[in-house]
Amino acid sequence: MSAYDHVSGGSLKFKGGGSPSIKKKKKKSKSDKEKLARAIEGSRSESGSPQPVKVIEKTEAERKFEEIQRKRQMERVAKAAMKSHKEKVIDFNNKLEQLSEHYDIPKVGPG
């Protein structure tokens, strides 16, 4: 008589019902992708001419906004590229040296 005789075997079950609420996704096979590609090619060849592409016109304000965004991005990149890592570390150390030592642990007692 083992200590594990009363344990039921099998997989764990979810609470609350017979059918699981989690559904597995079906895997797409390569043949499905090939069928889709053939269908696309077939529709292109049947129509003869390419399908029209919608061109979205932007307003003047949108164009100005995007141009300013591009300029600011270029300025940030140029500013970051001006200093090497070594120069940045030197500047950071100089900044730390200029800070007050208020948070340092004071030496107490002789010695």
Query: pLDDT category, 10, cuts 50, 70, 90?
Result: confident
d(CA 35, CA 41): 10
Q: What is the pTM of this model?
A: 0.33
Strand, helix or coil for residue 20:
coil
d(CA 5, CA 47): 71
**Each residue of 56-101: pLDDT tens digit?**
889 999 999 999 999 999 999 998 888 889 999 999 999 988 887 7
